[in-house]
Amino acid sequence: MTKRIIIVGAGHNGLVCAAYLARAGREVLVLEANAQVGGAAVTRTFAPGYQVPAVAHLLYGFDPAIERELQLRQHGFTDAKSRVLTVALNPDGAPLVHDGREVVSGLSHAEDRQAFTDFMHKMRRLAALLKRQHGRTPPQLTWASWRDAWPLVRLALQMRLLGRADMRELLRMITMPMHDVLEESFAGDLLKGALAVDAVLGTKLGPRSGNTVLNFLHRYTGASAPRVPVGGMGAVSESLASAARAAGVQIRLGARVAAINIESGRATGVTLASGEVIAASTVVSGADPKTTFERLVGLQYLEAELARRIHHMRCEGTAAKLHVALRALPQFKGVDAALVGERLLIAPSALYVDEAFNPAKYGEYSTDPIVEISIPSIADPTLAPAGHHVLSAIVQYAPAHLNGGWEAQRAAFEARVLAVLERYAPGFGSHIVATELLTPADLETQFGLRGGHWHHGELTLDQYLTLRPVPGLGHYATPVQALYLCGAGCHPGGGVMGRAGRNAARVVLQGGVS
Amino acid sequence: MRTPREHFRLVVKYTPFHSRTVAANELNLWHRWRDYSVADAYFDVSLEYTALRNTCAVFDISPMTKHRITGPDALAFMNRLVTRDVAKIKPGRVGYAVWCDEQGQVVDDGTIFHLSPGVYRLCSQERQLDWLHTARLGFDVTVVEETEDVAALSLQGPTSCATLCALGLTGIETLTPFGMRTFAFGEAELLVSRTGFTGDLGYELWIDPAHAEALWDALFEAGNLYGIRPLGTHALDIARIEAGYIQAGVDFLPADHAIRADRTRSPFELDLAWLVDFSKPHFTGRRALLAEQSRGSRYRLVRLDVAGNKPATDAYVYDAKRRVVGTVTSAVWSPMSKASIALASVAMPHGAVGTPLWAEIYYQKELKWNRTNVECTVLAGPSYDPPRRKVTPAPMR
């Protein structure tokens, strides 16, 4: 009988999991459907000579422990830009610039300066509590012994140790809509708009939706400011793949897993789309939970209630990706040339973000979407021909389940987004060499993200910690023996962090059961 | 064609036999079964019971929840739903089954009718539409509630076969237990299954509600010389306890109704291990039941012969050291075995066959409460199990 462990998908979590398992002496085979490793953290060519990070484009919370333990620096991982500033574009004047800790410039209301510093300081303290859970398997809610109860007790203690004021704030705010928190904290629209984006990006939530404070905290569990690696996000994945291969992992590209094979309640291997069957002692799925169970395993192998929970798991993506090849650097209104390479936001107020969200609730796209822009070719000229640039933009809201479908409306949506960009960067259109729009539907077909959801499932309290992805699957192990999950659908969730993969590897090595 | 849904205007529903059961209900005693008004007793509980055990009796089972399951994945769906191997229930056959939640706790029990290849009818005590719709995710099946679309009577007792012969159901005696067959009944098709809830020879008759009253009339006419009587719920209850059959909501709490985790029971804890097949494809509760099998069960269902003549209704059950080890769930004076019998749920390891237990019975005499502690014997099987139940051809007497 084989001792091989198969990892489904060479996304960053799959690669992290593979590397740790191989370092522990296991035989590991990673099967990736696409022609390159990385899943949603890839750099790819979208027009001849122009490369972009195809999905995720900024690195927030990549686990420093993974960076250290897998010696990623020796495998080619370097920052092109380490502390990316946020530049909230202003349609009528100077933008607001902050570094996640302090406002650098562009404040409309002086009282916001201290308020912002204090607010971010508080949010970092609260986020630190969440971050402490990231490296761990979530607490069990039922337990057979006090040993099992300890993680939950520890979480309660850590919460108490925040001190009375912070614990109160955490409990008060954790389910709150970001909009309400912004209203009680700040005066300036530009600032509120920028912070509202951080609370909703990648979700089907608006700033007035509950749980958006949680999303904001989740974003800041990483770092107060994102970074950009040399070679784009794909370089992170390439360095992980290199580290995994060095540890003995075999990676097969273009090997699409069509089914995870189950016999007598136990995973026995996989069948590829080509029909090839590969046996394994353990299968670890980096695919999102819905894809894993509805398509690869089959709900009939699960208990009926668990199947229902998976079926109802919320994972409709609303974020599209626009890539633009440019023959010259665009000029954004009021933005100093030195700032064009930072993180540019189009979200001039929290109300703007809220109004952008409204159509998404009813299956329509925003006519005035929020846009997060990165021009990675400024820090990393290798991505475009000399003097040329690539612009990578996350455009929200573009719901996966668009009324009437995306095919008929993608051109209109793209034109709409380009018009918005033109408004903030007059003359933008004249620089365009090529464009690529990836709707959530495209993200699903090209990257296997169910519903086109970047985080493999909405990050809200009902799908958080032990409850992520759904109750009963919160500990990486599944009811199918020898089948584990390791993707962003698991705790601690989305963002290129690698922690789900690292935690899953630990559970696999311990032979954990659900 | 379904009639417009006016059910919400009704406080109570009536079965398709209501005009006949009203006429027969000399005592005018009624209660609700699900939403339907059904008879507690028609003329005398003892005499109805006597007819059931000596001639034959008719019980209106129309309120029983019925679902029809069809589609390419019907068998796979049924097999994932219940703990037994449905592939072994061939077309034209009926099987008793239980289904569990993910903790391996029984949601309900019922019968599966394999009407034609890949077409199943599931009969159950409780409403199951929600559960079935949960269970159907991932399967290409259609689940339709057909409770109101099928009228049904249960004809039970020694002369039940003779009565059906007299009704003109030629060859009915060759129907084996848990078999079913269709017959022409006027314009209608009459489905007859050799099934029941009394532990005796008996049949269940299934027909389009439009022909229900005609069926009742023809049946009573055919059974006139065979001592046919209507049967109310009270008399049926005596019979089913004698037969050792459990009832949802009485002998076990449906798992989806339970709030407290220790109130539910697994199939093993209901003496239904024979219904659990680990060698068949995956079913809901399998993992939990496998774990229970290796860890051991918490409870055991026992059939008790209780000393004395007092029914041990709701009695505490004690072990030899006078510790409470369980409770009686159903109890009755059994006229057939001339004994007080009971079904009880006791904590493991108590209740092995042949071991003694004690029941604490409270009873009233002329408004004065008395208490007695009586010894009980754990029986190996049901109190009442006549050979004719299983014999084919069925006896005509």
Question: Residues B365, B307: one domain?
Answer: yes
pLDDT of residue A224: 72
Tokens of B21: 């059961």
Distance CA B266, CA B260 (A): 14
Residue A258's identity, in one-letter code, is A
Q: Which residue has the tokens 């290796």?
A: B294
Question: Residues B193, B46: one domain?
Answer: yes
Could you read off the pLDDT of B199-247 as tens digits, one per residue?
999 999 999 999 999 999 999 999 999 999 999 999 999 999 999 999 9
Taking residues B154-163, report their average pLDDT. Answer: 98
Residue A64 exposed, middle or buried by CB count within 10 Å (0-12, 13-18, 19+): exposed
B134 touching A, CB under 8 A?
A: yes
pLDDT higher than threshold 60 for residue B1: no
Question: Residues B160, B53: one domain?
Answer: yes
**Cross-strand pairs, A373:** A344, A393
CATH code, domain carrying B117: 3.30.70.1400
Give the residue from A493, A353, A377 showing the smallest Cα distance to A433.
Answer: A377
A303/B76 CB distance under 8 A: no
Question: CA torsion, points A440, A443, A448, A449, in degrees to nearest 10?
Answer: -40
Taking only the tens of pLDDT, chain A with its 514 residues reads 789 999 999 999 999 999 999 999 999 999 999 999 999 999 999 999 999 999 999 998 899 999 999 999 999 999 888 899 999 999 988 999 999 999 999 999 999 999 999 999 999 999 999 999 998 999 988 777 788 889 899 999 999 999 999 999 999 999 999 999 999 999 999 999 999 999 999 999 999 999 999 999 999 887 778 988 888 889 999 999 999 999 999 999 999 999 999 998 899 999 999 999 999 999 999 999 999 999 999 999 999 999 999 999 999 999 999 999 999 999 999 999 999 999 999 999 999 999 999 999 999 999 999 999 999 999 989 999 999 999 999 999 999 999 999 999 999 999 999 999 999 999 999 999 999 999 999 999 999 999 999 999 999 999 999 999 999 999 999 999 999 999 999 999 988 999 999 999 999 999 877 6
Distance CA A473, CA A471 (A): 6
Question: For testing the chain B interface, which of A268, A299, A303 should be mutated: the one with the most B CBs within 10 Å?
Answer: A303
Beta-carbon neighbour count of residue B149 at 10 Å?
12
Partner-chain residue, chosen from B281, B285, B290, that has the shortest CB–CB distance to A303: B285
Could you read off the pLDDT of B334-385 as tens digits, one per residue?
999 999 999 999 999 999 998 899 999 999 999 999 999 999 999 999 999 9
Question: Residues B120, B158: one domain?
Answer: no
Residues of A with CB under 8 A from a CB of B: 262, 265, 294, 298-308, 311, 472, 479
Evaluate whether B284 touches A304 at the Cβ level (below 8 Å): yes
Distance CA A249, CA A243 (A): 9
pLDDT of residue A143: 77
Q: A5-41+64-78+231-313+452-510 falls under which CATH superfamily?
A: FAD/NAD(P)-binding domain (3.50.50.60)
Partner-chain residue, chosen from B81, B135, B282, that has the shortest CB–CB distance to A301: B282
Chain B neighbors of A305, CB-CB under 8 A: 101-102, 134, 284
Residue of A nearest to B78 (CA): A300
Question: Residues B74, B88: one domain?
Answer: yes
Partner-chain residue, chosen from A262, A265, A305, that has the shortest CB–CB distance to B134: A305
Chain A neighbors of B138, CB-CB under 8 A: 294, 298-300, 307
DSSP B382: -
Rounded (5°) CA angle A426-A428-A434: 165
B69 touching A, CB under 8 A?
A: no
A305/B102 CB distance under 8 A: yes
Question: Residues B195, B292: one domain?
Answer: no
Evaluate whether A376 touches A407 at the Cβ level (below 8 Å): no
Tokens of B84: 């037994």
Centroid of chain to Cα A443 = 13
| Domain-located, residue B93 | yes
Distance CA A49, CA A240 (A): 25
A265/B287 CB distance under 8 A: yes
Question: Residues B53, B175: one domain?
Answer: yes
SS3 sequence of A403-442: CCCCCCCHHHHHHHHHHHHHHHCCCHHHHEEEEEEECHHH
H or E stretch at A81: strand A79-81
CATH code, domain carrying B307: 2.40.30.110
B138/A472 CB distance under 8 A: no
| Domain-located, residue B242 | no
pLDDT level of residue B5 (50, 70, 90 thresholds): confident
| Domain-located, residue B160 | yes
Could you read off the pLDDT of B9-50 as tens digits, one per residue?
888 999 999 999 999 999 999 999 989 999 999 999 999 999
Residue of B nearest to A481 (CA): B287
| Domain-located, residue B42 | yes
Partner-chain residue, chosen from B101, B139, B285, that has the shortest CB–CB distance to A300: B139
pLDDT of residue B2: 58
The answer to which of A121-135, B51-65, B88-102 has the lowest mean pLDDT is: A121-135
Chain B neighbors of A311, CB-CB under 8 A: 137
H or E stretch at A263: strand A257-263
pLDDT of residue A300: 93
Residue of B nearest to A290 (CA): B138
B281/A306 CB distance under 8 A: no
Distance CA A72, CA A57 (A): 19
| Domain range summary for chain A, segments of one domain joined by + | 5-41+64-78+231-313+452-510
Evaluate whether B75 touches B283 at the Cβ level (below 8 Å): no
| Domain-located, residue B394 | no
How far, CA to CA in Å, does B220 sit from each of A228, B20, B333? 87, 11, 29
Distance CA B28, CA B24 (A): 9
- Residues spanned by the domain of B364: 298-386
Distance CA A27, CA A388 (A): 44
Evaluate whether B296 touches B348 at the Cβ level (below 8 Å): yes
Question: Residues B327, B352: one domain?
Answer: yes
Distance CA A272, CA A254 (A): 10
Question: Residues B288, B302: one domain?
Answer: no
* Cα torsion angle, A240, A245, A249, A254, sign: positive
pLDDT of residue A193: 98
Q: How far is A470 from chain B (nearest CA, A)?
A: 14
Between B331 and A225, where is the model more confident?
Answer: B331
Distance CA A164, CA A172 (A): 12
Question: Residues B282, B316: one domain?
Answer: no
Residue A253's φ and ψ, nearest 5 degrees, are -90, 160
| Domain-located, residue B323 | yes
pLDDT higher than threshold 70 for residue B133: yes
Question: Residues B72, B185: one domain?
Answer: no
Chain B neighbors of A298, CB-CB under 8 A: 138
Q: Which residue has the tokens 């005035």?
A: A368
pLDDT of residue A223: 74
Taking residues B153-161, report their average pLDDT. Answer: 98
pLDDT higher than threshold 60 for residue B59: yes
| Domain-located, residue B282 | yes
Q: What percent of chain B has pLDDT over 70?
A: 99
Distance CA B356, CA B372 (A): 16
A78 in helix, strand or coil?
A: coil
Tell me the residue ranges of DSSP E strands in chain B: 29-33, 36-41, 56-60, 65-70, 94-100, 106-116, 119-124, 142-145, 151-156, 180-185, 188-193, 202-207, 228-230, 299-306, 316-318, 324-334, 339-347, 356-365, 368-379
pLDDT higher than threshold 80 for residue B4: no
Residue B365's identity, in one-letter code, is K
Tokens of A398: 């573009």
Q: How far is A290 from chain B (nearest CA, A)?
A: 12
B349 touching A, CB under 8 A?
A: no
B281/A299 CB distance under 8 A: no
Provide the terminal-to-terminal Cα distance of chain B, rounded to the nearest Å: 42
Q: Count structural domains, chain B.
A: 3
B137/A265 CB distance under 8 A: no
Question: How many residues in total does chain A contain?
Answer: 514
Evaluate whether A256 touches A272 at the Cβ level (below 8 Å): yes
Question: Residues B369, B309: one domain?
Answer: yes
